[in-house]
Structure 1
């Protein structure tokens, strides 16, 4: 029985060693146009204020992705249409 345990341990250890090896990644082949576009993109990008994520043009979805300016316009419109709360203590003070 003892040799069975050693044999099983040996097979399990060999299996772990075989699965643990990492293969070298294949070299990526990119077109020269893609490389030049990748190097030009960081230089052309404007810095985002406050470190927020700014989606690229191909990541924007019409009707879903909203710019900060559009959000501010919507917020201003919502505040303009919101009625001011009526506080009963102020009405009583004005009547006297």
Structure 2
């Protein structure tokens, strides 16, 4: 089975911990080289965050567990890259 190299998640989290703290927690997981957290929306009690994680062997279950420990939940898995190398998404014009 091929390892996950990149995963993009839509995450709902409470205001605390901050996205800085959440990013650091995710980066400490074995197999993760880098994390990008982008705040998409802020509500009265929650924040919607787009989380991009890259690494040689991302353990999705461990990521999910770490997010739960911060009080966050995964709304959706928006993108997954698996294999020997990262393949970038190619945008093509819509047919007319």
Could you state the TM-score of these two structures normalised by the residue count of structure 2?
Answer: 0.21
Identify, as 1 or 2, the structure richer in helix.
Answer: 1
Could you state the TM-score of these two structures normalised by the residue count of structure 1?
Answer: 0.21
Rg larger in 1 or in 2?
1
